[in-house]
Amino acid sequence: MKDVYKILIALSMFISGAALVPVMGLPTVGFNWQRYAGVYTPAVLDINHTSGQPGSFFSVTGSNYTPETTVNVSVNGVPLGTVNTDSNGALAFQIDSTGADTGTYFLEATGAETGLTQFDLSEDQPLWPQEGTGDVFRLPANIAVNLVRLPVIMNLK
């Protein structure tokens, strides 16, 4: 009796699927998703140095933002100010880490799009001088994130 139920369920699924085939209007050409792949280009935020000593300057450039708009700049959730994008959707600014604490900083530039990058301040890194152009934002004290990096242990048996 159990087999009869299985056969009836399979037969009803087959019939319902076969009944829908003429109604579905299956496309004769597959969906060409590749032509839509380049439609969205995310905002990119680049920094010239990923680490430096407190007191260093970091040059930041951004691209793929909406042209001629205002973008909010923040570090670790603390607003630093705003910059304007040019007619190509690019931006540039400087980060001054004078007086900032050692640790990790997550930099975010948000307009209609959001770009992210990060950098670290550590006493054993080089002191980078100011280079590049754009507005200069000073990092406030007491906003550094101190990440705990754990070692990777592998069992090689």
Q: The whole model's pTM is what?
A: 0.71
Mean pLDDT of all residues in the chain? 86
- Beta-sheet strands, E only, within the chain: 44-47, 51-52, 57-63, 70-75, 78-84, 91-96, 103-110, 114-121, 135-138
For the segment 126-154, what is each residue's pLDDT rounded down to a tens digit?
999 999 888 999 999 999 888 777 788 77
Domain shared by 71 and 102, yes or no: yes
Tokens of 42: 């995310």
- Domain hosting residue 11, numbered range: 2-27
**Residue 15 in domain:** yes
Residues 27 and 12: their CA atoms lie apart, in Å, by 25
Is the domain of 20 the same as that of 71? no
Q: How far is CA 132 from CA 96, 137, 141, in A?
A: 12, 13, 24
Structure token digits, residue 69: 């708009």
Give yes or no: residues 64 and 100 share one domain: yes
Is 124 contained in some domain? yes
Q: Based on the fold, state whether residues 133 and 66 are members of the same structural domain.
A: yes
Q: Do 13 and 90 belong to one domain?
A: no
